[in-house]
Amino acid sequence: MIVSLGVKILKHGDFTPIDDYTGDMILIDRLSEFFPVNSWSWNEGEVVELDDIACAIHDGQAEESEPFGDNWKHVCWESKPTEWHIGRILYFIKNPDEIRDIEIDNICNGKYICPIPVIVDGNHRFIAAMWLHDQGKMEKVHCMYGGRTDLLDYLTGNTEEQPLE
């Protein structure tokens, strides 16, 4: 079975609405297992790692409160420099109550839905959550999940068994 942001999709294309879907609390360490490199890039050839965040905090870099662009509410018409993205992550580190609604789906291969999560919207928030997790300040993060329920059970800690197929 698949959950797609508030809709259960059963076999043969049957859809069952989930009333009042408000998201799920996902374990940060479980989600970060799928991102082993711990680096992100918004601009070709420029990588942001967790160490860069620590350096930016140490250097007193300013935070950035302007949303980046989720293609719905805040369309991004131009690229931003890497320093801007680091500032955006710093904003969420300093405002952890705003780390929520990270949109997660699953990677698809043809008609097959793989048990591999992908962040559709919320990379800045997730990097901030990872940094806070490394500091022992955050264990779970609020996500809006659309994908396989067996993977959701693993990500939320409802099962210890990671789906492999």
Please count the other Cβ atoms lying within 10 Å of the Cβ belonging to residue 141. Answer: 28
With a pLDDT cut of 90, the percent of the chain lying above it is 64
pLDDT value of residue 10: 45
pTM comes to 0.83
Angstrom distance (rounded) from CA 54 to CA 61: 10
| Helix 82-94 vs helix 50-59: crossing angle, to nearest 10 | 80
Minimum mean pLDDT range among 15-24, 33-42, 53-62? 15-24
pLDDT in tens, 69-95: 655 555 555 778 899 999 999 999 999
List alpha helices for 16-135, DSSP H.
Answer: 28-32, 50-59, 82-94, 123-134
Angstrom distance (rounded) from CA 19 to CA 34: 29
